Structure 1
């Protein structure tokens, strides 16, 4: 019993050290946001400063609340749409046979090897032709089609949903959409949570696409707003760091709430894939 307690205590100690190591950068980010910009270059700060209110005023003077709202609603809509489209596509690839299925699957998997930056010019030209420049549509619609999410959910559904169960549902009179809504989705919740967090984080941190498609300040998202803090004569790094800390809050909340489902989805997906 003593050895078991010792092992358990050692495990908790290791976990605590990992937690402290992981949270230390966020702690320093919070601390650095409480100092005058010039003080950041005088050495590492361990205790809070007295300039938090001024940095807060600097951040809020840029209409940061509007940018926060822009990023939030863009990320939520794009993530919800991407989750729905990916689940439908993954279900189709996993459980149905149709013409050109293998070719389409190769196309989906092949896009994972193509960097997003490679098609940026063509993407901008396409958005301009469709009249979507200087709007949030380029940040909402394209992320709804995510090859990784389709491949992940396809792999998960293929083994998580037995074909025999689907046949039983059909014999009971269930249609395909009802099978998808009432039988498939409830049984792949860990995978859905994992994809939700990945898509949300990607949309929330997206900087390159907003940079090239948005020219109106009122449409800016948080990454663009943070990069614009300061003026042509001075970079206010302290205010930028405080803004980064504020931008990290939703991500921390989502990961804290859904951490168990995320870990379960990653573990089950890695084994089943």
Structure 2
């Protein structure tokens, strides 16, 4: 009997060992599949940037005829033609001024309006909020003629005001910040601020805005990229080439008879770098906010 029991136990131990090995193999295969998929996605995302960098270092003839996979030696020449054709660094400064101003205004007033829709009760609130959401369904291009005439009436053509001021009324930003205020701003915090004698604006600035920082960082990425790449509005509103932002200046890059693709790709490289820097800085705020919320929970 003892011998039989030992044989059974040995068999069970062997089966358990095989089962554990099978489970470990399955886990390893699943982990390999996940990492392979992530590497494939990362490669797909980075491929356009690599292609852009490689193309900017080749001559126009090579860009038109070949599939370019290796960097060339024409980057400096393309850059010289670029700065000879358009004042690219003036356009860079113009774009930074427009984008930073518009993003700051959009974030502040979107947070303020979203907070108002979320935490205050007043007559017609739901109707007003539905009207804000309704504007998201109308393409901005449909109102460009009326917008141009309105700016002409206000004598704002060929200035930055028509490009910056509309950022105050960002329908998506208001909707996004309202949802964030609903989920991440407890009413008890607001009541405690009122008990301590804080005014409504002080409560918003001292209590609400710090709690909304991860959400503001997320919205800031969308606002920054959207305004940085804005092409249609500056092209219609601005007449002076010295006032144009980067996207319009890059479109103006031409050689004697045709588009200078080499110089144009150099301009695109210059325009993409600030977006990558801004995203890398702001994404840390998003991650830190999420981590802090997880630790508090």
Q: TM-score, normalised by structure 2?
A: 0.84
Q: Which residue does 2:130 correspond to in 1?
A: 106
Q: Does 2:234 correspond to 1:210?
A: yes
Q: Which residue does 2:20 correspond to in 1?
A: none
Q: Which residue does 1:269 correspond to in 2?
A: none
The Cα offsets for residues 206-227 of structure 1, whole Å up to 9 and x where unpaired, read as 0000111111011010011000
Larger Rg computed on CA atoms: 2
Unaligned runs of 5+ residues in structure 1 are 267-273
Q: Distance in 2 between matches of 1:42 and 1:231?
A: 18
Q: Which residue does 1:127 correspond to in 2?
A: 151
Task: State the 1:152 CA deviation.
Answer: 0.4
SS in structure 1 at match of 2:157: coil
Q: Distance in 2 between matches of 1:86 and 1:99?
A: 20
SS in structure 2 at match of 1:67: helix
Q: Distance in 1 between matches of 2:38 and 2:97?
A: 35
Q: Distance in 2 between matches of 1:247 and 1:65?
A: 10
- The answer on whether the counterparts of 2:55 and 2:265 sit within 8 Å (CA) in structure 1 is yes
Q: Distance in 1 between matches of 2:258 and 2:289?
A: 45
Q: Which residue does 1:50 correspond to in 2?
A: 73
Q: Does 2:214 correspond to 1:190?
A: yes
Q: Which residue does 1:11 correspond to in 2?
A: 34
- The answer on whether the counterparts of 1:143 and 1:203 sit within 8 Å (CA) in structure 2 is no
Q: Which residue does 2:47 correspond to in 1?
A: 24
Q: Distance in 1 between matches of 2:285 and 2:41?
A: 20
Q: Does 2:179 correspond to 1:155?
A: yes
The residue correspondences of 1:164-175 to structure 2 (distance < 5 A) are 164-175=188-199
- The answer on whether the counterparts of 2:217 and 2:283 sit within 8 Å (CA) in structure 1 is no
Q: Distance in 2 between matches of 1:66 and 1:234?
A: 24
1:40 to 59, 63, 86: 63
Q: Distance in 2 between matches of 1:75 and 1:169?
A: 34
Task: State the 1:107 CA deviation.
Answer: 1.3
- The answer on whether the counterparts of 2:217 and 2:286 sit within 8 Å (CA) in structure 1 is yes
SS in structure 2 at match of 1:84: helix
- The answer on whether the counterparts of 2:118 and 2:181 sit within 8 Å (CA) in structure 1 is yes
| Residues paired across the two proteins, number | 266
2:116 to 92, 96, 114: 92
Deviates more, 1:243-252 or 1:165-174: 165-174
Q: TM-score, normalised by structure 1?
A: 0.92
Distance 1:264 1:202, change over 3 A: farther
Task: State the 1:262 CA deviation.
Answer: 4.7
- The answer on whether the counterparts of 1:59 and 1:239 sit within 8 Å (CA) in structure 2 is yes
Structure 1: which 4+ aligned runs deviate by more than 6 Å?
263-266
Q: Does 2:99 correspond to 1:60?
A: no
Task: State the 1:7 CA deviation.
Answer: 4.2
- The answer on whether the counterparts of 1:94 and 1:157 sit within 8 Å (CA) in structure 2 is yes
Q: Which residue does 2:205 correspond to in 1?
A: 181
Unaligned runs of 5+ residues in structure 2 are 1-22, 291-297
Q: Distance in 2 between matches of 1:114 and 1:264?
A: 36
1:224 to 225, 248, 252: 248
CA RMSD of aligned residues (A): 1.9
The Cα offsets for residues 77-125 of structure 1, whole Å up to 9 and x where unpaired, read as 0100111111110010000012322221111111000000010001000
Q: Does 2:98 correspond to 1:74?
A: yes
